[in-house]
Amino acid sequence: MAKRKRQKVDMPMSGAGLIRYMDEEGKGLKFKPEQIIYAATALVLVEILVKMGFI
């Protein structure tokens, strides 16, 4: 009797082509949400300083 090995659960065929993004691992840069907030805040502060004439 052959043993069946399954490593991950597949979506049913009625998924209509939808992608489970938790299964997709893309290449590229990965940022934490906190890093994006800090960068946006820093950009806003630099813009304010430029408008006020400090930089």
Q: From residue 2, how far is each of 5, 15, 54 by CA, in Å? A: 10, 29, 75
What does the DSSP 8-state code read for residue 36? H
pTM of the full predicted structure?
A: 0.51
48 in any annotated domain: yes
3 in any annotated domain: no
Among all chains, which residue has been given the structure tokens 């840069």? 29
State the residue range of the domain holding 38. Answer: 29-55
37 in any annotated domain: yes
For residues 5 and 7, give the distance between their C-alpha atoms in angstroms, rounded to a whole number.
7
2 in any annotated domain: no
Question: Per-block average pLDDT, block size 10, for the chain (55 residues)?
Answer: 61 61 72 96 96 88
54 in any annotated domain: yes
55 in any annotated domain: yes
How many domains would you assign to the chain? 1
22 in any annotated domain: no
For residues 10 and 32, give the distance between their C-alpha atoms in angstroms, rounded to a whole number.
28
